[in-house]
């Protein structure tokens, strides 16, 4: 298989004055060439931390990637790269765009300069060549009048345009992986759709693999090949987009799906709202992290960590409901009534 990225047992902690926060707790996954993988989950479930770890962008003092974690880019361990190698890797082989295009661009540099900078660094182009290349990239992300926008400052552009510039910066060196951290969250709904369409088009045109981090399942639906649902720093379910949307197995995935307007309509059901908040990540977790909020929580869930079960070759889920002893339950939205309403 042409795996280009393989993450094995990634564990990340933040050292704070209240104690160690285990933000990512043993996450493993892989990414194939040209594939789009989505990380989905509530805020604070570790998806952004996982994404940033791939580029080693976590704050060096407070964040600690635990020993035993491995991030293999084409077989090379990213965590062991030297500074020089890391700089060639960042932006050139794997690049990243961030949530808020308003703050992610340097306000005192023109958009053009910010693209040229990466091109001159990685492709060793002259200023003139880099400028020509940058304008081509701006064209690629469908910015009208790219020559003029090249010398515009970020504050002169709209939010959607800025996010396009961010994408242009990220794609300028033709990386093999693009990490998009909530790329549409800060944008207007209409602009969101445009950015998603653009990402989809670019992915097909350039064959870039994408890691899409989002809490919005609607964004994922049109773009992702595979989906990874994260909760409390762990992957609770992973599968192809089809499997996650049509045969979800984990109660947390059910909850997520039924809280998306467009998807919930399918079952003519009220929008579901998941009660409570994710567990405090300071605590060590010895049981299923979702147990406290789960409608289907069983006694065993409060005592032991569930095992990962293969539903199909591509579909894994970590839930005690997969156990042969467990009662067979259906997602509440298929029953038409939530467990809580029955009780």
Query: Contact positions toward other proteins, by CB under 8 A?
Result: 55, 57, 83, 86-92, 95-96, 98-100, 103-109, 114, 117-118, 121-122, 153, 155-156, 166, 169-170, 275-277, 291-300, 303-304, 307, 320, 323-327, 329, 339-340, 343
Structure tokens at 152: 């515009």
C-alpha R_g of the chain: 21
CB nearer to other proteins: pick between 156 and 270: 156
CB nearer to other proteins: pick between 73 and 245: 73
* Min CB(292)–other proteins separation in Å: 5
Phi, psi at 168, each rounded to 5°: -60, -45
CB nearer to other proteins: pick between 263 and 329: 329
CB nearer to other proteins: pick between 75 and 327: 327
**3-state secondary structure (DSSP) of residue 156:** helix
* Min CB(37)–other proteins separation in Å: 18
Write down how long the chain is. 343
CB nearer to other proteins: pick between 24 and 118: 118
Q: How far apart are the first and last CA of the chain?
A: 49
**3-state secondary structure (DSSP) of residue 134:** helix
* Min CB(262)–other proteins separation in Å: 26
Structure tokens at 215: 């809490």
Place of tokens 């095992």: 307
What number of other Cβ atoms are within 10 A of residue 121's Cβ? 16
* Min CB(99)–other proteins separation in Å: 8
137 class by beta-carbon count within 10 Å (0-12 exposed, 13-18 middle, 19+ buried): buried
């Amino acid at each position: 298989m042409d795996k280009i990225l393989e993450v094995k047992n990634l564990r990340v902690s933040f050292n704070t004055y209240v104690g160690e926060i285990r933000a990512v707790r043993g996450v493993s996954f892989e990414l194939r060439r040209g594939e789009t993988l989505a990380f989905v989950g509530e805020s604070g479930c570790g998806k952004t931390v996982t994404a940033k770890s791939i580029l080693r962008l976590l704050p060096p003092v407070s964040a600690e990637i635990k020993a035993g974690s491995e991030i293999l880019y084409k077989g090379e361990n990213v965590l062991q790269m030297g500074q020089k190698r890391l700089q060639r890797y960042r932006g050139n082989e794997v690049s990243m765009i961030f949530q808020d295009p308003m703050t992610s661009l340097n306000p005192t540099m023109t958009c053009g300069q910010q693209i040229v900078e990466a091109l001159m660094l990685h492709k060793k182009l002259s200023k003139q060549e880099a400028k020509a290349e940058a304008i081509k990239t701006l064209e690629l992300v469908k910015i009208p009048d790219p020559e003029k926008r090249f010398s515009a400052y970020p504050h002169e552009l709209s939010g959607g345009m800025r996010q396009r510039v961010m994408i242009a910066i990220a794609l300028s060196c033709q990386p093999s992986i693009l990490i998009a951290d909530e790329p549409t969250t800060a944008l207007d709904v209409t602009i969101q759709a445009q950015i998603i369409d653009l990402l989809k088009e670019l992915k097909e045109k350039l064959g870039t693999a994408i890691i899409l981090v989002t809490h919005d399942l609607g964004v994922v639906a049109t773009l992702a090949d595979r989906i990874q649902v994260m909760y409390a720093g762990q992957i609770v379910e992973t599968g192809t987009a089809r499997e996650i949307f049509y045969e979800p197995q984990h109660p947390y995935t059910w909850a997520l799906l039924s809280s998306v307007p467009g998807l919930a309509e399918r079952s003519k059901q009220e929008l579901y709202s998941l009660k409570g908040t994710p567990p405090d990540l300071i605590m060590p977790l010895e049981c299923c992290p979702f147990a406290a909020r789960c409608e289907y929580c069983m006694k065993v869930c409060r005592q032991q960590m569930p095992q990962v079960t293969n539903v199909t070759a591509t579909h894994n889920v970590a839930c005690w409901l997969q156990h042969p002893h467990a009662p067979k339950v259906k997602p509440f939205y298929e029953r038409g009534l939530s467990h809580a309403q029955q009780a």
